């Protein structure tokens, strides 16, 4: 499903060079990328979905090289194949929760099945919030809505950025169980990027990222 080789990234010409280990995660598997602040976790997540392009190296998703696609093709590929659970939800506050969940379909120009949206919200325990504005949801409810938005188009790859940050143990377990269960239901590969040491033994397929930034 996902494979990286000799991956490096530099934001600007005089910025430190970030280097990343070679990663491989089979389809429908789960992978943990664990590292402290400053090691480039979010940068790596953006490289994995094609939001950033590497300075060197390659990223393959579903057997296709993201670097060989045009920017427009990467946007289309990401919209159809990747679901992202952001650390900050980035909802449109003028829209309802259900309308926010419909955004991936809207951006791809495809129809949105409200019944499927309600069903997914029901599975996540927030169907009663479908017509509320995101600002009226609790932090936990916003996280669940973010999971729904990432999974509504049944992506092949789900990327979760710090999904358990600032959560207590009980809430952490609940959010992880939701992610895992919903990803499995969608036959999706799940990649979690986090600094949360509580997750270090949860997944067999895991990589510890270190701060390997090099000056020019």
Q: Where are the beta strands (DSSP E) in the chain?
A: 2-9, 18-19, 24-25, 30-35, 56-61, 64-65, 82-85, 157-161, 189-194, 206-209
Q: In the structure encoding, which two tokens stand for residue 27, read together?
A: 């389809």
Of 51 and 143, which is predicted with more confidence? 51
Q: Over the chain, what is the mean pLDDT? A: 86
- What fold does the segment set 29-39+70-204 form as a domain? Rossmann fold (3.40.50)
- List, in order, residues 6 or more apart from 207 with CB less than 8 Å away: 21, 23, 31, 32, 33, 34
| pLDDT at residue 212, rounded to an integer | 56
| pLDDT at residue 166, rounded to an integer | 66
Beta carbons of 60 and 77 less than 8 angstroms apart: no
60/56 Cα distance (integer angstroms): 13
Domain ranges of the chain: 29-39+70-204
**Residue-wise pLDDT tens digits, 142-183:** 888 888 888 888 888 999 988 877 678 887 888 788 888 878
pLDDT at 27 over 50: yes
């Amino acid at each position: 499903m996902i494979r990286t080789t000799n991956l490096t990234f530099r934001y600007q010409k005089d910025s430190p060079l970030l280097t990343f280990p070679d990663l491989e995660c089979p389809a429908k598997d789960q992978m943990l990328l664990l590292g402290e602040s400053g090691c480039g976790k979010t940068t790596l997540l953006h490289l994995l979905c094609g939001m950033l392009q590497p300075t060197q190296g390659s990223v393959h998703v579903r057997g296709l090289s993201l670097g060989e696609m045009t920017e427009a093709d990467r946007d289309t590929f990401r919209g159809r194949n990747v679901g992202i659970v952001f650390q900050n939800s980035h909802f449109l506050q003028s829209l309802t929760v259900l309308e926010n969940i419909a955004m991936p379909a809207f951006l791809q120009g495809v129809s949105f099945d409200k019944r499927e949206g309600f069903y997914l919200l029901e599975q996540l325990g927030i169907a009663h919030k479908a017509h509320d504005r995101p600002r009226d949801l609790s932090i936990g409810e916003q996280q669940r809505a973010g999971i729904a938005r990432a999974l509504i188009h049944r992506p092949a790859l789900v990327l979760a950025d710090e999904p358990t940050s600032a959560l207590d143990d009980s809430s952490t377990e609940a959010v992880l169980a939701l992610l895992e269960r919903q990803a499995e239901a969608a036959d999706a590969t799940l990649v979690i990027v986090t600094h949360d040491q509580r997750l270090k033994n949860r997944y067999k397929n895991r990589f510890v990222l270190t701060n390997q930034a090099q000056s020019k």
